A and B are shown apart, each in its own frame.
Chain A
Amino acid sequence: MTATQASAAATAEPILELDDLAVVFTTESARVPAVRGVSLHVRPGETLALVGESGSGKSTVALAAMGLLAGNARVTGRAVIDGTDIVAADEARLAALRGRTVSMVFQEPATALDPLTRIGKQIAEVIRNHRDVSARDAADQAVDLLRRVGIPEPEKRAAAYPFQLSGGQRQRVVIAMAIANDPALLIADEPTTALDVTVQAEILDLLRRLAAETGTGVLLVTHNMGVVADFADRVAVMYHGRIVETGPVEDVLLRPSHDYTRRLLAAVPRLSVAEADRPAPDREPAPEGASGSATDVAPVVELRGVSVVFGRGRRAVRALDDVSLAVRPGETLGLVGESGSGKSTAARVALGLITPTSGTVSLFGADLARTRSRARRALRSGIGVVLQDPVASLDARMTVGECVAEPLRVHRRELSAQDRRGRVEAVLDRVRLPRDIVRRAPGELSGGQRQRVSLARALVLEPRLLVADEPTSALDVSVQESVLEVITELQDELGFACLFVSHDLAVVQHFARRVAVMRAGRIEEQGPTGTTLLHPETGYTRRLLAAVPVPDPVVQRGRRAERLATLAAGRTEGEA
């Protein structure tokens, strides 16, 4: 934003003004206050980021501002958009406002579009809902909008169905619908959370450009501090339904005044972009690895030339293509890549859940394809697994104690009930959970506690290999930090090797000693984290790193300019 625009924005009447807004949900068992006394405003042309962790009430505020809350919500206070109080307005008034004065971009582009209607028609419908234009004009405008949001060949693409588009393109269509009637206010609820980082960067560029072009005010709801640094002018931090701090983005992110904001920012894993600010070597390499690259030590798990093909004939999908990697005792290999790159498939091959179409997998020195099922089962007692979804990872019908004891029941059947209980309690101590948690149901625990229970289950047999597939990506940053801390400590103590799958380059940079970057089923490059993620050899890794927003608005501005310059250079080069 330029200086003149900024001053104009500072003086203009706010397009959105919330005054002492409170929301209480009535559920079957209780009345739950979700938002308590929130006041904020958004002026034309300015972006206010509403940040907070899950359950802080930030999405509820966004929905309340649209008058879109479910029937069990009771709203008090005022939410004024362009002179209309949303809280008091009737449905007809709201319908006239939504999509015209204010519109919304949701998190999941896949569900925001009607799968059975061509995208051009969906956009035209939004136009004709609010403006008296002919079907033909609306269709023409829809094509224009698709061009504005950067969809290639918009005339042709207007006839496409949502499933024919990629996730990023779908989100562009959602944005096209949102800006179809030149709204004065755009509410974006985690608009890039479901997208890969490179796509996220493109969508943020698009939103920034559109907002600047039309002077639209933006209320951006997000949990990602990097996105905030990249996009917002002002920030409001929410915690437990209240705004605890509000101010210009530089102040809040660089000089936070509230204690919660400070803790939140401290927990955000930061991507180191230069040698100088490499994270302090808080993790000494495991003793075995201390002597050089340790290639002489036999790996715990090794994939050699593994390919996986799903389906056959013309529909065959090559999920993995000639992938070779190895994890040696005591070391952590980070497997990174965007969605669909095959990183989870590779982890599942290592676990023996997917049989490779070609290539070999050896676990603890034994070729998995050549071992008999009984021997294979015994080998697997040396593996611990933590998967992404804290809800689906634990069987809701079992108690926590039963969940953690399950590996013992599988592999140590000779143990008495008392011994078993002893081991479960010992491992719960290790992951820093109270012992009395054993009798509770997983449903009563928070996400972070559940992931620790998963970790306890993975470690109860004292495995030699821990496979962690996005173990913290469903968690809030503060919880993520504490879970990663526990894994790190236990790895130092127990010396297990770790195959760590993640899409978050910053987390991998802090956590893994070696890294393998995957793309479209192949390994793009691999090497020591410090080298590969600071001085990448391939253009893909470089682009991936450049797209990660860092939670420092000043640094991020520079990175953005650099990235766009590189892209532009790449484009002219390509055209030449």
Chain B
Amino acid sequence: MLELITFSTLNGVLYGMLLFMMASGLTLIFSMMGVLNFAHASFYMIGAYFGFEISRRIGFWPGFIVAPLLVGAIGALVERYGLRRVHKYGHVAELLFTFGLAFIIEELVQMFWGKLPVDYRVPPSLDFVAFRLFDTTYPAYRMFMLATAVAMFVFLFLVLKRTRVGLIIQAALTHPSMVAMLGHDVPRVFMAVFGVGAALAGLAGVIAGPALVTQPSMAALLGPILFVVIVVGGLGSLAGAFVASLLIGLVQTFAVAINASLADVIGPSADIFGDLGRVTVAQIAPVIPYLLLVLVLVFRPTGLLGNRES
């Protein structure tokens, strides 16, 4: 039991940090431009595939550096030549643009790398056991993922709170015209934030690719959960996104580990629930984030730490 709790906590925190790497970019982009970027999870997927392609040809470490930069560049281009163009048609058009983009990216990925998962492996330099606890081993690669995610978190925090660039970004979030008056190129700030957000998602893809499965549906599987994270956390709240990422990461990881059903708990009387009585907690794990979303919206419509009404 203690073993289960320890490892589930570790994996849950890891999954939560991974979610936060993407949710942070998504939240920043949303608070700046009012756009929920539907294609954000697609950047994560492109990151994983670029990482795979580079690791196959050169090695894992060059991919670790280059792939996020490439994804960031693609993100900046998308903002400059796509989003900025539809901006004049309003937020619905912007949301639809990113929706269409996510669809096209999935189709293109299928075209280039096929519909089946690709063989993106953990690099040999990280393929060893980190530690052993209660007779269960924990791979070093997972520790590396955790370290990368925490490092990114610290980096993002320091940039936003301690540097001049962060100051301008924060100011541009709430008072874009004032920032522009002071002589800063606000559209360029937007483009940079979009690019960095995409790069962060790409980095998440590069490190998550070998541990999870690199396949064309990975964006479609993760995207909705990402939206749940930022709606549950409160739209536009970075701290909320952090809390919600960890919450969903932990809840989902623990749910997967629990193999009990309603029938196990209350006995044969669970039959009145039909199929639902025999479903194990592990089986409903994919549903839990959405149930959480509904609960939060019923009891706290602005999200956990949000204060925006729309």
Query: Do A and B share a complex?
Result: no
Which B residues fall within an 8 A CB radius of A? none
